[in-house]
Amino acid sequence: MQLLHVPSSLCLSFQNVKTHEEAGLPSYEKPLQLSSAIFCSLQQQRPERSKWASRRGSALSSFTAKAASLEDVAGAPAMSKGTAESDVLKALSQIIDPDFGTDIVSCGFVKDLHINEALGEVSFRLELTTPACPIKDMFEQKANEVVNLLPWVKNVSVTMSAQPARPIYAEQLPAGLQTISNIIAVSSCKGGVGKSTVAVNLAYTLAGMGARVGIFDADVYGPSLPTMVSPENRILVMNPEKKTIIPTEYLGVKLVSFGFAGQGRAIMRGPMVSGVINQLLTTTEWGELDYLVVDMPPGTGDIQLTLCQVVPLTAAVIVTTPQKLAFIDVAKGVRMFSKLKVPCVAVVENMSHFDADGKRYYPFGRGSGSQVVEQFGIPNLFDLPIRPTLSASGDSGTPEVVADPLGEVSKTFQDIGICVVQQCAKIRQQVSTAVTYDKSIKAIRVKVPDSDEAFLLHPATVRRNDRSAQSVDEWTGEQKLQFADVPEDIEPEEIRPMGNYAVSITWPDGFSQIAPYDQLQTIERLVDVPRRVPSQAS
């Protein structure tokens, strides 16, 4: 049976952890015991969401559709199953996903299309990228409308679903992280600005939008999650068979914090903390999650770098306050994420203002949040007011968005949640299509995220520019891979994303090349595009 490994000097911090009864073991060496009740609950479906979870934001009305008319679709009756299917897909292709700017048919959202022409019945499933899609209701409504307008259609059945939770490069991750679609870092790099408040309320907002969510409290020195939520089971346990950690839960959101594994705080050096965080995060049975919100500790040291390197962060949300001092510290964090190729998608300016006597007051000044947005080009800025209820909810163990789902603060968090969902969808789409191989012209297509430039590369040129130790001597810089070693007609077998900064290219000889976007942008490009290779008739 495996222990939750921590340095010996830390073992006293775990003395309250549930243990297996083994005679002769000191209390700090006893392994975490799997609670059968918790284990069984993990096998069941998630409980129904409470009323706060069904709320929809006003942004649901932001929906775009093509201006094309249905007249050409409805002009003639369908003559065959192929024509009927074509009619349905043509009608559905008028619905545009505003995040991708592409119709839902091209996005691959339409699944399980079944047509019974004799009865005029059409059924299909719309599989969205996330169950928290803010306009999923509008998608369903419009899909019903456009298909019902076809003259031969009498009944339409639309089922909504979401893609399975998974990262786009799961094979390279620890087992515990392989079924998590998006990992969101909430960071401030300065203590006391309300980062944990934003992280927890954002997580429960995403859960209220229908997503499967987890929270990881990465602050070992002063974890705040045990104070901000009130799970029934407040102690982490270990699955003795899988040797993994079982997260606790509150209102359907999975929770892991060092505060649930010991006395609440630890006294240790940075490298020891990094090891504990790594173990807590990567050996937890998170299950399928659409979003894992990571409450980052303040600073830009070992712990933060470890998290950014071990965990494939999808995006970051920056929390600040109006003071100039807060901006200086936050700017360090934004630069850290920039170097690690983690896009910052939103800035939340906490304690921005309060209203009294019909006036709005700014006790800490103005401008820190907008300065972050302007200087670093972060697209979205949100203001949170000074509210006693927001602070009190953090101390009471019930997040504000749960305690008052229709309040002003909850509306702001709904907007933040919609922003995070939309930006993560864009990032995943950009990363998954950044580097692809076009077999018809035998060229590698590159369009780096956040760049409008697209270009082609010769596969052999990419292979010859490998800078790994297998191709270049690390000590002398001597080129070990010679030009003639790479066949001119070589083709990649597979191209997979590696975080937000590179791709992994597998070649026929079994070599796996890591190609950072920055390097691909410096390689000699194809000017004369090869002719398309005609597809062979079957």
**Cβ 384 vs Cβ 173: under 8 Å:** no
**Cβ 381 vs Cβ 346: under 8 Å:** yes
Give pLDDT tens digits for 488-517: 999 999 998 877 778 889 999 888 898 888
pLDDT recorded at residue 241: 85
Domains of the chain (ranges; CATH) run 84-162 (3.30.300.130), 170-431 (3.40.50.300), 435-522 (3.30.2020.30)
Q: Locate 429 and state its tokens.
A: 């789409």
pLDDT recorded at residue 23: 32
State the chain's mean pLDDT as an integer: 78
pLDDT recorded at residue 291: 96
Give pLDDT tens digits for 269-280: 656 777 788 888
pLDDT recorded at residue 274: 74
pTM score of the predicted model: 0.74
pLDDT recorded at residue 112: 92
Facing residues of 504 across strands?
496, 514
Q: Locate 121 and state its tokens.
A: 């019945």
Cα–Cα distance, 149 to 94 (Å, whole number): 13
Residue of 118, 302, 320 whose CA lies nearest to 218 = 302
**Sign (positive or negative) of CA dihedral 161, 166, 167, 169:** negative
Residues of the chain with pLDDT under 50: 1-79, 537-538
Give pLDDT tens digits for 69-96: 333 333 334 445 578 899 999 999 999 8
Report helix, strand or coil for 331. helix
**Cβ 435 vs Cβ 457: under 8 Å:** no
Side-by-side strand order, sheet with 95-97:
64-65, 95-97, 102-103
AA letter at 264 = G
Please give the backbone phi and psi of residue 253, each rounded to the nearest 5 degrees, phi first. -100, 130
pLDDT recorded at residue 169: 65
AA letter at 152 = W
pLDDT recorded at residue 492: 94
DSSP state at residue 247: P
